[in-house]
Structure 1
């Protein structure tokens, strides 16, 4: 479907379009670091002409903008094929990384940008670790947003205060929290969180790749699992997202054929997209599945994959039949 198709609607964000901060998931491998905002600094160093060191007042003095983006956790690095569907949609406040990279002036040899957080400790038998991720310089310059606020308020400690990276359309593991160093290098860093964990081998390939772009996905939000609902006409609702625009969402009720849902068009920002479908149901147990397709032609796979079709089971007991 496309913008002119009746199954593709203009965005009409509801009150849950942006996820409340209290409902956001929290993930960290080595705990939340204690940071003194008065002494915290961010450095931009490595293969640059003009290394930078900024304190918090200098960061907050930079022209700020907003970015609303879907934010998905990849899941446990020990179980990379297990789906989590831990996903939120957040309005970030901050500025593009490009503003700092342009000031620092990368040298011709620079090929990669390494992000290092203040969270340090031990993980998987290795001591003295910092949380480190990397991206190609071109990608980082184009895509990375440095955030000091979320949903109109300063970042909370558990979400990366005073400054974190946000990489839209990529799994949350790439969005380093508690950012302290940005280092430009000519080679990718060999590190537990860059080349050991958070890699996966695509089907038909032999070489692991870093976990970056999110998969095409959807999640049914209503009805909730195991809900008991009145029989009759009800509306299934949910969210879909991908590394690009989702162009189609289909629902299958009780194992029946796939039916196109009404899908919100993607706006100018990399947010999730709402979908809905009305159906009339008789009393009894029911299931509903959702399946999304994106502009790259990727389709949510059958059960067994980490982004497999989402299924919710619920019931319409006869004793609550409308009179």
Structure 2
């Protein structure tokens, strides 16, 4: 896998120690792989109970993908910018569904975690998400490895779903149960939270495909930097390929950045622009466009353009921080 110089702040692969952790239902469950199992039930011909060795014995896949938190489901338009790029290994969900055999009525896949608790005034909840069968079969991987090491307990050990084109809310941790159903489940995390009305639409839809987004990582936000020629750089990502990134400094026009092409996986794409920064304070913004024609909004939504503020100083050596 491609990695940038580990001395730089914008690693292509995010170290596990720096991956964000989000739990809705209190402390994460402590699962023993010796007793844990995954059940597959509902509209299937052969209900399954798979232990961890059975999971490991199925055909494995490896891939790199952006993993992004959608944000607080009670405040769906507030930017969060919790995002990582990770190497995963596991088994395609499609392989498990093939073992179970699907009945013709099956249209939806329910993914349930072992975590339980209270959230937003409701009690006794398990974390549950659902996806259309065709989408889940094509994209979802049941992952047991992150960045070459077994999942850590707070990242879903021993097994989690990974939906690489979608927000992290769909990548259910501590996966314990898969249900094939004819309909969507009515649940706090499926039909009442994690829904939103997209621009130009009037009906709320489930939070699934990632927005087009970008984030500046170089230079460091809020830190003094040497005046003069500087590289402005970061990463852009989407549920599809990002086709362009622009950067604006202060009130100057948007300028096209050099953008790396996306590889065969769903990893983020690095962008960079060399710019001559005059001494003084500066506001730097980045804006991405994807192959679906979506453009980051300037303000007002969770993927609004990212901006940083720096002060360029004369007489400062490049190595100083």
TM-score normalised per structure 2:
0.95
The structural deviation recorded for 1:13 is: 4.5
Rounded to whole Å, the distance in 2 between the matches of 1:98 and 1:321 is 54
The SS at the match of 1:141 is: helix
Per-residue displacement from partner, 1:70-118 (whole Å, max 9, x unpaired)? Answer: 0000000111000011000010011110000111111000000000000
Aligned match of 1:19 = 14
Aligned match of 1:7 = none
Q: Is it true that 1:29 corresponds to 2:18 in the alignment?
A: no
The structural deviation recorded for 1:137 is: 0.3
Rounded to whole Å, the distance in 1 between the matches of 2:50 and 2:139 is 21
Aligned match of 1:86 = 82
Aligned match of 2:190 = 194
Q: Is it true that 1:73 corresponds to 2:69 in the alignment?
A: yes
The SS at the match of 1:45 is: strand
Aligned match of 1:232 = 228
Aligned match of 1:242 = 238
Rounded to whole Å, the distance in 1 between the matches of 2:131 and 2:316 is 55
**Correspondence for 2:117 among 115, 121, 124:** 121
Per-residue displacement from partner, 1:11-68 (whole Å, max 9, x unpaired)? Answer: 9751411100000000011120121221100011100111111011111122222111
Q: Is it true that 1:267 corresponds to 2:263 in the alignment?
A: yes
**Correspondence for 2:148 among 152, 162, 172:** 152
The structural deviation recorded for 1:233 is: 0.8
Rounded to whole Å, the distance in 1 between the matches of 2:317 and 2:149 is 45
TM-score normalised per structure 1:
0.94
Q: Any unmatched runs of 5+ in structure 1?
A: 1-10
Matches within 5 A, 1:164-203: 164-203=160-199
The structural deviation recorded for 1:319 is: 4.9
Q: Is it true that 1:38 corresponds to 2:34 in the alignment?
A: yes
Aligned length: 312
The SS at the match of 2:50 is: strand
The structural deviation recorded for 1:321 is: 7.5
Is the alpha carbon distance of 1:48 and 1:12 closer, same or farther for their aligned partners in structure 2, counting shifts above 3 Å? Answer: closer
The structural deviation recorded for 1:290 is: 0.3
Rounded to whole Å, the distance in 1 between the matches of 2:202 and 2:61 is 41
Rounded to whole Å, the distance in 2 between the matches of 1:247 and 1:12 is 20
The SS at the match of 2:54 is: helix
The SS at the match of 1:300 is: coil
**Correspondence for 2:294 among 281, 298, 308:** 298
Whether the 8 Å contact between 1:121 and 1:130 is mirrored in structure 2 is yes
The SS at the match of 2:236 is: strand
Superposition misfits of 4+ residues, deviation over 6 angstroms: none
**Correspondence for 1:101 among 97, 121, 136:** 97
Q: Any unmatched runs of 5+ in structure 2?
A: 6-10
Whether the 8 Å contact between 2:112 and 2:172 is mirrored in structure 1 is yes
